[in-house]
Structure 1
Amino acid sequence: MRILLTNDDGINAPGLYVLEKIAAQLSDDIWICAPSEEQSGAGHSLTLNRPVRLHQHAERRFSVSGTPTDSVTLGIKKAMPGLPDLILSGVNRGANLGDDVTYSGTVSAAMEGALAGIPSIALSQVPTREDAGRNVDFSAAEEWGAKVLRPLLDMAFAPRTLINVNFPPVLGSDVQGVRVVRQGFHDYARGSVVEGIDPRGFPYFWFGLHGIEHTPGRDTDLEAIAQNCISVTPLHVDLTHTASMAALSARYAQ
């Protein structure tokens, strides 16, 4: 099995080395193509207004001067001799839960793989409050990563779908199992915008996601993580809200 690894934290991110360890338990044909620098929050962006550089660091290790989407595209079209059988994105330093998936470069890299018809999985390590932004403990991902992935290796993914995996902020021995759950919902109206003044006297704004309240349903990724379980959520690229089709069509039928 040929596996392509990528992320949004950059080619030198600790989580990518964790993902290499996980992938090595599944295959010996592993390729890496990741952003040269951190691209957290890049979403599904594609670089269009400047050239993108592809740098080779080792036989199967490449970095890209662009986004996670750029990395997957160049990985499968330029760096690799053929298409991978699987794309793994992560392990992200931070959660990708609820509506966060729309901002996530980690999830978007897997989404790009799904659009190319390749089974793709995003993996993220939820940090403790104390570790957020610092040295995240990846022990849950390290211990459980291969266990979570093995049942998915021979599964037929539906077209244009991907899988989003989040590991809870506990030691591997404290993980309470794996739960297949739906995407939750964050209340972003309560997010913060921090204003400050830079050394030259100009104002700046820093978006903060801390303290955002959420409303987890009974079977969501948010609830699973809160109960120290690994969340496994199938996502699909089709954003059509089918339930609104009839009502919207009726507006134009008059």
Structure 2
Amino acid sequence: MRILISNDDGYFAPGLAALAASLSKLADVVVVAPERDRSGASNSLTLDRPLSVKKAANGFYYVNGTPTDCVHVAVTGFLEQRPDLVVSGINHGPNMGEDTLYSGTVAAATEGFLLGIPAIAVSLAGKNNHFDTAAQVASDLVQRFIATPFASPMLLNVNVPDLPLDALGGYAVTRLGRRHMAEPVIRAQNPRGDTVYWVGPVGPEQDAGDGTDFSAIRHKQVSITPLMIDLTARDQLGVIKTWLNP
């Protein structure tokens, strides 16, 4: 069993170290992660310059690019053997609802999925640093995958309550919730007197009822959401055909 691990917080992130330590007990693990924090990078690929892969003192490899770059380079050229599973994380903070569209953590897993490899994105839904809890959850899910592999590649978005392991309320298979629109940008001035803008915090939850990832975390459950990549609005195909041919 070969597992490729990546993240978006950078190769020095404590969540990455916890994940690698946990999964290395189960399989042959290689870590290929960004050289710096690339949170919010989404599924961006670097096309305007070459990428380099270097090895850190802890044995992790790091790339001067995005999370997507890391997985793409690793799978399509850097690694001698194709991984059986891609695991991304452990992200320091949740990736729920629309967060998944911006998340570099989810993007790294998505790239593995797009390359035909089962993938899991793992995020810690809080700032209390219970990375050991999320690492144990990731280990459990990987053990389940080893025992019962998916019939075809799947992409799972996993959010773990930031609590001690014995405080978790089990697993919940969920759908993505929705937030309200984000808060306004924050206007400021830099030392040169120029006006700059900081992206504001995420908006409050709008769709967070039973069955959503938000609800699961609120009930101290691990949220597991299977994701798909097909963005086609199938229920609007007929509408557009009629619009073009009235």
TM-score, normalisation: structure 1: 0.90
Amino acid across the alignment from 2:200: G
**Residue 62 of structure 2 aligns to a residue in which SS?**
strand
Matched, 1:198 2:182: no
* 2:138 aligned to which of 135, 145, 165: 145
**Residue 71 of structure 2 aligns to a residue in which SS?**
helix
Specify the alignment match of 1:42 in structure 2.
Answer: 41
The aligned runs of 1:1-254 (5 Å cut-off) are: 1-27=1-27, 29-57=28-56, 61-128=60-127, 131=128, 136-153=129-146, 154-156=148-150, 158=152, 161-188=154-181, 190-210=182-202, 212-254=204-246
Percent identity (aligned): 38
Shift in CA distance, 76/100, structure 1 to aligned 2, threshold 3 Å: same
**Residue 141 of structure 1 aligns to a residue in which SS?**
helix
Contact 1:33 1:71 in 2 (8 A): yes
Contact 1:62 1:79 in 2 (8 A): no
TM-score, normalisation: structure 2: 0.93
Contact 1:192 1:210 in 2 (8 A): no
Aligned-residue offset at 1:171: 1.6
User: Number of aligned pairs?
Assistant: 245
Shift in CA distance, 4/138, structure 1 to aligned 2, threshold 3 Å: same
Q: Which runs of 5+ in 2 are unaligned?
A: none
Tell me the C-alpha RMSD between the 2 structures.
1.8
Contact 2:96 2:159 in 1 (8 A): yes
Contact 2:179 2:203 in 1 (8 A): no
CA–CA distance in structure 2, aligned partners of residues 139 and 241 of structure 1 = 39
**Residue 206 of structure 2 aligns to a residue in which SS?**
coil
Shift in CA distance, 110/239, structure 1 to aligned 2, threshold 3 Å: same
Contact 1:110 1:162 in 2 (8 A): yes
Shift in CA distance, 176/56, structure 1 to aligned 2, threshold 3 Å: same
1:199-229 Cα shifts (integer Å, max 9, x gaps): 1111111112255333213201111111110
Aligned-residue offset at 1:108: 0.7
Amino acid across the alignment from 2:150: A
**Residue 192 of structure 1 aligns to a residue in which SS?**
coil
Q: Which runs of 5+ in 1 are unaligned?
A: none
Amino acid across the alignment from 2:33: A
